[in-house]
Amino acid sequence: MKKTIKILSILFISLIGVNNSSYAASAQMGPCDEQVCVDYFKQYKKYAKLGYADAMVTLAEMYYHGHGTEKNLKKALKQYRSAAKWGSVKGQYKTGIMYLNEEEIKDVEEGVKYLKKAARKNHVTASLLLGIIYSSEKYFEEDLSEADKWLTKAYKKKHEKAAAYVEYLKSTEKFTAKNFPDLTKEVAANPIEVPTVVSKTSPAKSQDENSNAQQAAKKDDVEVITVYGSLPDLLDAQLASLRNTYPEKHAQNTGSNIIGKNCAQTLSCGLTHSEDFVRLTRNIMGHQAVLKFKSEGIGW
């Protein structure tokens, strides 16, 4: 049965440490050593060995979270890389994120390389992250030409977080037609409204009332995601789909064309945690940038 998890995604509150990857408990991947989880892990390991990219991505999630097996970042990375090799866009994106986020395996050049692979296949968040990376000096020397290219790509896809980042750039006086020629034109031609999620304290509301409202917003700080059934339902549906498709290792498709299933019904496609995104953007932009957006009521 289709369940819609209605959520409020708030960029700059989430950046200061709120975990915005929460889902209904029934559909959340997490640590599990129960026999049923071990059995699922074994099944996905079998399909991953057969060359199914979607199975590799889900197996990587299991290694990452310790679901049915011991948590192992290196084995998670290996599975994401394998999925990326056989055309999985999420595999490419997650490989890039792991290389940039996890100190144990950190490799900035590899991380950016994989984000570019995903962005070239229209993974919009990968495009946005590349724009943020190149418009800062966190990892490389600032390259505004590259930043302009990737941010424009994300903005054209109507990514609200891209609109919020434009507002951030404006606050730093970096957003000019000289620095961002393509993005400036796109913003002028097709402006995206940035949702206001935290208001400044006004005479009509006390500080306590505003504080309570912000705390309530923090509790709901998660993505909008549509899922179908519980986590076991999703795993069972994906396993059934794998039985009716050819492995990417031989067919060489993207892994998203699953017979009878759309993206929202595919675990490796639809159950995307955003905590990785939050960690990376907080690391690049810094705590003070986040506090500025929080105080000015600009959402992400």
Question: What is residue 293's predicted lDDT score, i.e. its pLDDT?
Answer: 56
Q: Quick check: 214 pLDDT over 70?
A: no
Q: Quick check: 246 pLDDT over 90?
A: no
Q: Indicate the CATH number for domain 2-296.
A: 1.25.40.10
pLDDT digits (tens, 9 = 90+) for 278-289: 777 777 777 666
Question: What is residue 227's predicted lDDT score, i.e. its pLDDT?
Answer: 44
Residue type, 277: F
Q: In whole angstroms, give the CA distance from residue 157 to residue 123.
A: 10
Region 295-300 average pLDDT: 54
Q: Quick check: 229 pLDDT over 80?
A: no
Residue 221's pLDDT band (cuts 50, 70, 90): very low
Answer for the pair 237, 261: CB distance below 8 angstroms, yes or no.
yes
pTM over 0.75: no
Residue 139's pLDDT band (cuts 50, 70, 90): confident
Residue 268's pLDDT band (cuts 50, 70, 90): very low
Q: Quick check: 204 pLDDT over 50?
A: no
Closest CA to 247 of 76, 48, 40: 48
Over the chain, what is the mean pLDDT? 76
Buried b / exposed e across 274-299, counting CB within 10 Å, b at 16+?
bbbbbbbbbebbeeebbebbbeeebb
Q: Which residue has the higher pLDDT, 178 or 207?
A: 178
Q: Which two tokens stand for residue 121?
A: 């296949």
Question: What is residue 255's predicted lDDT score, i.e. its pLDDT?
Answer: 41
Q: Which two tokens stand for residue 19?
A: 């975990």
Question: What is residue 289's predicted lDDT score, i.e. its pLDDT?
Answer: 65
Where do we find the tokens 């490796």? 268
Give the Å distances, CA to CA, from 259 to 71, 230, 262, 265. 31, 20, 8, 11
Distance of CA 81 to the CA centre of its chain: 17
pLDDT digits (tens, 9 = 90+) for 78-91: 999 999 999 999 99
Q: In whole angstroms, give the CA distance from residue 171 to residue 182.
A: 19
DSSP letter (8 states) at residue 130: H
pLDDT digits (tens, 9 = 90+) for 19-46: 333 333 335 788 999 999 999 999 999 9
pLDDT digits (tens, 9 = 90+) for 49-75: 999 999 999 999 999 999 999 999 999
Task: Please report which residue ranges of the chain form alpha helices under DSSP H.
Answer: 11-14, 35-50, 53-65, 73-85, 89-101, 108-120, 124-134, 144-156, 160-171, 181-189, 207-219, 231-242, 248-251, 267-270, 275-285, 287-296
Q: How far apart are the first and last CA of the chain?
A: 30
Q: Percent of the chain having pLDDT more than 90? A: 49
Domain boundaries, the chain: 2-296
Question: What is residue 245's predicted lDDT score, i.e. its pLDDT?
Answer: 86
Let me know if 193 is exposed, middle or buried by CB neighbors in 10 A (0-12, 13-18, 19+): exposed
Question: What is residue 295's predicted lDDT score, i.e. its pLDDT?
Answer: 55
Sequence-separated (6 or more) residues with CB below 8 Å from residue 256: 54, 88, 89, 263, 266, 269
